[in-house]
Structure 1
Amino acid sequence: MRSGLLVSGRRGGSGRVVGMLHLRVVCPVDATDEVLAVLKAHPGVTHVALFPGAAIEPAGDVVAADLAREATDEVLSALCGLGIDHTGGVTLEQIDTALSDAADRAEEAAPGEAADAVVWEELLSRTGEESRLNATFLAFLTIACLLAAVGVVTNSPVTIVGAMVVGPEFGPLAAIAVGIVLRRWDLVRRAGLALAVGFPLAMLVTFGGAVLGSYSGLFDRTMVLSAHQVDFVFQVGPFSLIVALLAGAAGMLSMTSAKSAALVGVFISVTTVPAAGYAAIAAVLGEWAICGMSVLQLVVNLVGIVVAAAVVLALRNRRSRTRDLGRPLSNG
């Protein structure tokens, strides 16, 4: 993401952290006037600049602007209505700080609050990328499960928390919620595949590691079964679902409001990865009751997160549509 410092005709002004995005449009020359009309007509857009003939591939003009987060969805819809996403390209970058009266006016003129605005294209792009089954996702999930297994064996809640933070599973879970709400079943399938392949593979590797550890004398049944500080990992109860629901809601609010720091709190509040790691350890020891409860804990948390995230996103989507009802897009 890009950090921009914008100065507009004043000295000694105090910087404001604003909810603005930098927009860059590559468009055919014959569409430039329409693009400029869209941008200049919206009160939430400012700092509009034109670079004639600057684009090489695809050839055309480059138009840049800064826009309030609340205005982003309308502007993107209007630009896509012109077909710019097919004939050229549209990119967005985050601006952390702006020193500009014009930026202040644009943010004030845009309807709603920046923290409440959902940029749907940004959300689709982000969740789509994080839901892919790839080597990096599998590596992080496997490492997280192995850390969880170490935490179980050593009776270390701190190591369990470390495994929660490393685990990458919230990305696909959020993607499933987004896909359900927006009826993007391709996204649901892709994220579901990542989870369906990732967790069994990570648990299998952890099982293998646990077998080696058991045979080499690193731990035994008594050592694991006496580790009562980490019993919460497999103990399924009403609070398991409650925590999963709250975590899913907080995670989706964080993703849709660009407050990504809150995602860390989500990661360390749910026992998805730790449950998978405990299941592998329990299977090695032949403790099938604990293994079954760990798997149930995993399923409860995964389902709870998706349900809560989907509900939050559906409510935000409904509110956005209600707010925009009857207001035409600024399409020049």
Structure 2
Amino acid sequence: MVLHNRVSAEELKKQLAAETFKRKTVSFYQYADIKDPQAFRDQLYLQLYDLKVFGRIYVAREGINAQISIPEHNYDAFVAVIYGYDFMNGIRLNVAVDDNGKSFWVLKVKTREKIVADGINDPNFNILKRGKYLNAKAFNALAEDPDTVIIDMRNHYEYEVGHFENAIEIPSDTFREQLPMAVEMMKEHKDKNIIMYCTGGIRCEKASAYMLHNGFDNVFHLEGGIIEYSNKAKEWNLQNKFRGKNFVFDDRLGERIGDEIISQCHQCGAPCDTHTNCKNEGCHLLFIQCEACAEKYRGCCSEACHEVVLLPEEEQAKLRKGIDKGQMIFNKSKQRLRPRLQEGNNPRT
């Protein structure tokens, strides 16, 4: 059997839309010592393919990181597969908070050097020597302590649409940049309680280990990240200290956690926290766009891109040929815009 997808994206999306059953979006991770990542990857792919699981899974020698959707009628069988591996038996499965079941439309299982790119080359670093877990109740209690500092270990565009009260942003769009920045920024707070959090727990767990590795003592991280916190806050009737939306890396691009909208449309400045990708495939910029601007620019980030999408597809293909889009993310704090969008056509200033 072929151990990867061969069906077109267009056809797969049609098949997803035609499904008559519900899906459940789940994320999980586990740091572990996987001796043969490729063999493990192939076996897992076959097991999940048979259960019609969609999503994105990364496997490395240091463990596994997964964001997937599962048909509800296959959920118990899926859990049996995952818990059937000794190193994953009983691990936490983060169930999405705001889920339409259309988060993924294909199964991709890939081997990587690391499940979270961190830039750490120190052979003495040990991911298993990590900070103390905090559940939602313990997080709320410690957050009230004036000797506590809360650090958001997610990217700028995630922090922009939602974060915990009084959380500090590490102003970067890559985790590998954030780790040394966090150490530097926290030097003056070494004697305080340091709480780190992220979406599902995988980044803040590694970040807490890195802080301990660099001489910090009172380091904590939020168990299960924002997703688990939100679920437990509802279950335990706790005050929700998260403001805004939780950015997620699937087709939903976000799930509502807090009631507030704390960010703005990047084009007109109206209150908005809806991320989208520019409809010009030669750009594909990730940015925040309100409904009015989406209609005005036809889902594009600028007049220039709007003009491009009005062209015949053949001409669009010629224009985007050879373009290196790089990391196409709008970061207003760093004015990360493509040069050609700064030449008078981009209304976001």
For the criterion TM > 0.5, the same-fold answer is no
Bin of the TM-score, shorter chain as denominator length: under 0.3
RCO comparison, higher one (Cα < 8 Å, 6+)? 1
Larger radius of gyration: 1
Higher strand share: 2
> TM-score, normalization: structure 1?
0.24
> TM-score, normalization: structure 2?
0.23
Higher helix share: 1
